[in-house]
A and B are shown apart, each in its own frame.
Chain A
Amino acid sequence: DSGVTQTPKHLITATGQRVTLRCSPRSGDLSVYWYQQSLDQGLQFLIQYYNGEERAKGNILERFSAQQFPDLHSELNLSSLELGDSALYFCASSVAPGTGNTEAFFGQGTRLTVV
């Protein structure tokens, strides 16, 4: 158990819908990262938050947004869903914003299926 909790584990929804994925980081971790894992694109970095503020952005679509709350949990919002958004979405957390000595701990992911 990494200490990073993601809910839900599985999600099936229809095209055009909106969903929210939730992530609770490890106790004491201030930095949260979201990644998307799909068969064609592999593992791609979406966005990072540190202590409530957006710190870095990767290949995140405009239909997607995220935030980190004062209790440090984070939510990834996906809207106007398309079939191609079906993927495994990972959350990871670390203590500091990106020193290589700080290991990033991954949650078990949320499997999103858009039908």
Chain B
Amino acid sequence: AQTVTQSQPEMSVQEAETVTLSCTYDTSESDYYLFWYKQPPSRQMILVIRQEAYKQQNATENRFSVNFQKAAKSFSLKISDSQLGDAAMYFCAYLWGSQGNLIFGKGTKLSVKP
């Protein structure tokens, strides 16, 4: 069965600094998708970034970028120039197959210090 592991329950970063959140996953599939979702105190789940496994190029979205290592089954999220509004729970998620349901990690709580 596919699993997603986030080994950092909590992380802290200084405003304007860079932080990296870790995620590893286990799958026997070769074609799948990986996501990072942000859940602020409002509880809304917001898609931050998406990576297709067949693409070698790492995805980027403004201050957010990923380091996708397919062989190592690793998918980390880098947040540059951290802002107070980045404080939230971050979930790594995996998707495979035609159903479309996501498998989530346990999450990492990110705090941003002013």
Binding site for B on A (CB under 8 A): 2, 31, 33, 35, 42-45, 48, 55-56, 58, 88, 90, 92, 94, 96-104, 106, 108-109, 111
Nearest first, the 5 closest Cβ-Cβ pairs linking A and B are: A98-B100, A100-B33, A106-B45, A56-B99, A43-B104
| Chain B interface residue count, Cβ-Cβ cutoff 8 angstroms | 23
Please give me the residue from chain A that is nearest to B106 by CB atom.
Answer: A42
Chain A CB within 10 Å — which of B43, B98, B101 has the most? B101
Q: Which residues of A contact B44 (CB under 8 A)?
A: 2, 106, 108
Select A98's contact among B52, B99, B104, B107, beta carbons within 8 Å: B99
Binding site for A on B (CB under 8 A): 32-33, 42-47, 50, 52, 91, 95, 97-107
Please classify the interface of chain A as helix (H, G, I), strand (E, B), loop, or mixed, using the class held by over half of its residues: strand
Query: Given A42-B104, A45-B101, A106-B44, 13 other A-B contacts at CB below 8 A?
Result: A2-B44, A31-B100, A42-B107, A43-B91, A43-B102, A43-B107, A56-B100, A98-B100, A99-B100, A100-B52, A102-B100, A104-B47, A104-B100
